[in-house]
Structure 1
Amino acid sequence: MTTEIELPVPVLADRLALVERWAERHGVEAALRLAEAEDLADAVAKEITPESTVDTYKKSWWVWTRFCAVTELPELEGSRGALVAFVTWLLREGQQSGKGYAPSSASTHLAAAVVGLRERGVKVSGDDQAEACAALEGLAVKLLQAGERRGRGQAVGGDVEGLRTIARACPDTLAGDRDKALVLTGFNYASRSQDPAGLRTGDVTLHPQGLVVAVLTGKTKHSVRNAKIRYADDPEICPVRAYAAYRARLVDERGEQWADPSTPAFVGIDRWGHITGGMGPDSVTRAIKRISDRAGVPIAWTGHSLRIGLASVGRIAIADQGGWARHSRSMLGYMQRDDGWDDNAAAGLT
């Protein structure tokens, strides 16, 4: 017999059923304590979910509701047919412009829409979701067979000559010094756009051999890696000198408060020279594109160009020096890690 129980706050029907089962097993007081623990678990999950993930869920749910409006399907149904119809629509006409999404974007929208449905109490079968994924993969293959390739593809990688061109094109202003430091340091620790955006002044420390950058890594499970950046042989593109000059100018021109360890390492600066706060991942990406455009780099760089660039230039240099093919697996087998200074990946590249 089900125990009647009143909870102090409204809960979803499936949570209420769970609490009633706990009450049968352990009594009402224990069931209420377990319910409070579930609420805490929900709060912790919400707190540790990255903002970018939350933003993706919101955007994808909006895409799902737009699909439902167009097809006149109910929003709160995640049936096999609805999910397969969703991915088909995404690939054929899902964008607001009427064009289809790239398969990778469609896959993201499908996964996030399923999360949104489940958050709203809709039961979505794993088998039904898997069938929609299979349909998406099959339709993506058809697109490739038809010679249609969607998406931007891999970003162009930065290179040493591009760094030199960019450094020379940076104006003698605070923004110019910030741009130079952003690109040169980012290349030397293979940064993603979110890496410099998340840095605080205290995360970048001067060392006798260069800089140590405490970078938050991982998309789902986070840790901190201490990336080491050495002084470059060529002062013109030395990341350590560039960062030190930028920070000294920032404090000199805008005040000692910017020396505080809690302030952003890389600040946003508008067209009038006003500081707008810390840079976000999108503003880093836009800045790198703008910086490379200004320098006349043949193919504009993106937020991922610095990461691709160090990996490519470093691999090529090692392969050529050692006589390996540039994609050699045996070369990778020889690579061992030392202290990060003497075996620094960027050593000798700049």
Structure 2
Amino acid sequence: MKLERGPKVATPGAARSAVPTDEREALLERWAVRHGIDAAQRLAEAEVLADAVAAGITPENTIDTYAKSWRVWARFCGSAGLPEDEGSRGALVAFVAWMLRGGQHNGNGYAPSSASTHLAAAVVGLRQRGAAVSGDDQAEARKALEGLAVQLLQAGERRGRGQAVGADIDGLYAIARSCPDTLTGARDKALVLTGFHYASRSQDPAGLLTGDITQHPRGLIVAVLTGKTKHSVRNAKIAYATDPEICPVGAYTHYRARLLTEHGEQWAGPSTPAFVAIDRWGHVTGGMGPDSVTRAIKRISARAGVPVAWTGHSLRIGLATAGRRKGKDGIAIADQGGWARHSRSMLGYMQIEDGWDDNASAGLT
């Protein structure tokens, strides 16, 4: 029985249909038997729509990660002489061993955390392409990864950058005092102070428009719309600080006023970037991107003499650790920073502080 097909939707990487083509064909045949050809056709069109919706809501960075991991899998298969569309137990375990042994382009091994990401994404890619990868086979590969990672540690080999250092209040003071009296300095100060208070990722300030940050009698309301999950899309409230020197509200207000004074009202519209890119000559060149935010935070912290340079994730970690140090409730921290209320990553950041007081050995001697 032949069914007419609706228009195909080309969806990249992770946004492809979760149902392999041969299974979809069989499903359509069953629908036709049960409901007739017309109803089966409408159900087929609904499947196409579902694929298009999945493509539309999948974050670009997720798509990029899946595409990158598939390229790593393809390189492995090429070097091992294995077919790309088969994810057997042996192939997955060999993939893990290859990544840790020397899978990078430069011949070095991947960090276990990176290998774990590539393994998970490769399995998704295999299933999207119709390969039957069992949960047991994937679990076997992950068990091998964990065991090999332990062996690396036992051999004294630590890979990867490790967790970024968290921003702290002393660092905020140092940054506030080191920012020059220029538009770039004003922007830098506002970028760090506001980002710390809503636990920003690098893409968050890069995605903010002027209309996303609104004044309130008690401070600022930041509409974070670039979050990775339903929890991270939020309206974060930033109150005036007790000390004006590190007040995020005052820093942002001063930066925006200086931007309009020096470069005109063209930057005042709600659809203009909240944080602008400024070249070495003081020219405004547009909005900041995630990479430029990351580079700026590293440069700003280095200029301030922070002992360990901050990264694009330092502000996010800093809210969790500093908030916990001040006795803030975990739910309040989660809501402000856009974590799920029992997020493992957030709890891990909070444990940096909790591990000293909520400790079986603390106070025994």
TM-score by length of 2: 0.82
Instruction: Report 1:86-235 matches (<5 A).
Output: 86-216=95-225, 219-222=228-231, 224-235=233-244
Q: Specify the SS of the correspondent of 2:161.
A: coil
Partner residue in 1 for 2:286:
277
Cα distance 1:8–1:38, how it changes in 2: closer, same or farther (>3 A)?
closer
1:293 Cα deviation from its structure 2 partner:
1.4
Partner residue in 1 for 2:317:
308
**Retained in 2: the 8 A contact 1:316–1:326?**
no
Partner residue in 1 for 2:51:
42
1:9 Cα deviation from its structure 2 partner:
5.2
Distance 1:270 1:32 in 2: 56
Partner residue in 1 for 2:256:
247
Tell me the percent identity: 75
Q: How many residues align?
A: 324
Q: Specify the SS of the correspondent of 1:61.
A: helix
Distance 2:283 2:75 in 1: 39
1:218 Cα deviation from its structure 2 partner:
5.4
Q: Which moved more, 1:105-114 or 1:70-79?
A: 70-79
Amino acid in structure 2 at the alignment position of 1:288: I
Partner residue in 1 for 2:2:
4
Q: C-alpha deviations, 1:128-187, integer Å up to 9, x for none?
A: 112111111121122222222222112112222222221222222222211110011112
Q: C-alpha deviations, 1:34-64, integer Å up to 9, x for none?
A: 0000000000001000011001011111111
Q: C-alpha deviations, 1:279-304, integer Å up to 9, x for none?
A: 23222111100111122222101112
**Retained in 1: the 8 A contact 2:6–2:45?**
no
Alignment of 1:288 onto 2:288:
no
RMSD of the TM alignment (CA)? 2.4
Distance 2:232 2:312 in 1: 21
**Retained in 1: the 8 A contact 2:85–2:126?**
yes
Unaligned 5+ segments in structure 2 are 9-19, 329-352, 360-365
1:27 Cα deviation from its structure 2 partner:
0.9
1:223 Cα deviation from its structure 2 partner:
5.5
1:23 Cα deviation from its structure 2 partner:
0.8
Amino acid in structure 2 at the alignment position of 1:122: A
1:325 Cα deviation from its structure 2 partner:
7.6
1:71 Cα deviation from its structure 2 partner:
1.3
Partner residue in 2 for 1:344:
none
Cα distance 1:272–1:112, how it changes in 2: closer, same or farther (>3 A)?
farther
TM-score by length of 1: 0.85
Q: Which moved more, 1:64-73 or 1:116-125?
A: 116-125
Distance 2:320 2:22 in 1: 51
**Retained in 1: the 8 A contact 2:110–2:159?**
yes
Q: Which moved more, 1:105-114 or 1:258-267?
A: 258-267
1:237 Cα deviation from its structure 2 partner:
1.8
1:277 Cα deviation from its structure 2 partner:
2.9
Q: C-alpha deviations, 1:12-42, integer Å up to 9, x for none?
A: 3332221111111111111110000000000
Amino acid in structure 1 at the alignment position of 2:187: R
Q: Specify the SS of the correspondent of 2:311.
A: coil
Distance 2:129 2:287 in 1: 35
Q: Specify the SS of the correspondent of 1:264.
A: coil
